[in-house]
Chain A
Amino acid sequence: MIMKFADVEVGKEYPAQEFVVAEEGIRAYLAAVKDNTELYEKERLVPPAYAAVFARWEAVADEQLADGTVHAKQKFEYYKPIHWGEKLSVKGVVKEAKEKRGMKFVVREVDVYDSEGDLVVVSTITVIFPA
């Protein structure tokens, strides 16, 4: 479903979704951003930037962003390292929707938990809907 600004519900919580941080996906991501930091291979740790994949809004909500949607701001908070192959639980909530300077801003939060139930990442995403 293509999300329209008028349909955004502030406070809406989305049910938890599962995401497995597979080695193949991590390697493809690191290759794409040209990051060869040894720590990830050595310790089989998920790069923090990979939260862009498992903590993105499309991972928690069956909603597609309209063509031309712009990612304005992004915040990540990290609480615990994630290892390759871990199964994560990802939950989303809409925090804010406002029009400002003729632009339509929406702020969403995605909370990510590991298989032990520990919070590992919080993602706060601000997008501008197309006019």
Chain B
Amino acid sequence: MQNFEKGATISLPAKEITQAMICEYADAADDHNPLHIDEDFAKTTSYGGTIAHGMLSMAFIQELMVRNFGVDYLTRGAIEVSFTAPVRPGDMIETNGKVTAFDAETGKAAVQVICQNQNGEKVLSAKCSLRAKDA
């Protein structure tokens, strides 16, 4: 795992959310809640149309953490996500993180990550962390 300075930023290229992607995710995750895949049903809800699974966008944050912290994240990582706004077909989602704490000796780290759409609206926020080595 590389060392990080407090305040360092990490990010992923923006990903486009399409209905096809949402349906593909529904199959891969075996989650066919009609809110995500049935436009006629989704229109009857307060969302007014289909929205992506929260876990789809959460996967972007996980990708960011593994790309930057590697196997250490799989061994002593944690993530806590709040789904703050719906992600809709047609959205472009940017994933940006900021290292808020890093201890090279213990390996403890904290990263605040936000996913935002093309309008700059926050759709997910996450507190990610790594526990100390041999904790």
A interface with B by C-beta (< 8 Å): 25, 28-29, 31-35, 37, 39, 43, 45, 47-49, 52-53, 56, 58, 65, 67-82
CA distance in complex: A47, B62 (Å): 8
Which of A34, A69, A74, A78 is the one whose CB lies under 8 Å from B74? A78
CA distance in complex: A59, B76 (Å): 24
Known: A32-B28, A75-B78. A52 touches B71 (CB 8 A): no
Which of B29, B76, B80 is the one whose CB lies under 8 Å from A79? B76
* Residues of chain B with a CB closer than 8 A to A56's CB: 29, 31
Sorting the interface of chain B by its residue count into under 10, 10 to 19, 20 to 34 or 35 or more gives: 35 or more
- Could you tell me if B79 and A33 are in contact, using CB atoms closer than 8 angstroms? no
B interface with A by C-beta (< 8 Å): 15, 21, 24-25, 27-31, 33-35, 41, 45, 53-56, 58-60, 62-63, 65-67, 70-71, 73-83
CA distance in complex: A68, B36 (Å): 9
- Could you tell me if A73 and B28 are in contact, using CB atoms closer than 8 angstroms? no
- Could you tell me if B78 and A52 are in contact, using CB atoms closer than 8 angstroms? no
Which of A37, A53, A65, A69 is the one whose CB lies under 8 Å from B63? A37
Binding site secondary structure of chain B: helix
- Could you tell me if A31 and B24 are in contact, using CB atoms closer than 8 angstroms? yes
CA distance in complex: A48, B77 (Å): 9
Known: A49-B55, A71-B53, A73-B82. A78 touches B30 (CB 8 A): no
* Residues of chain A with a CB closer than 8 A to B67's CB: 37
CA distance in complex: A35, B25 (Å): 12
- Could you tell me if A73 and B81 are in contact, using CB atoms closer than 8 angstroms? yes
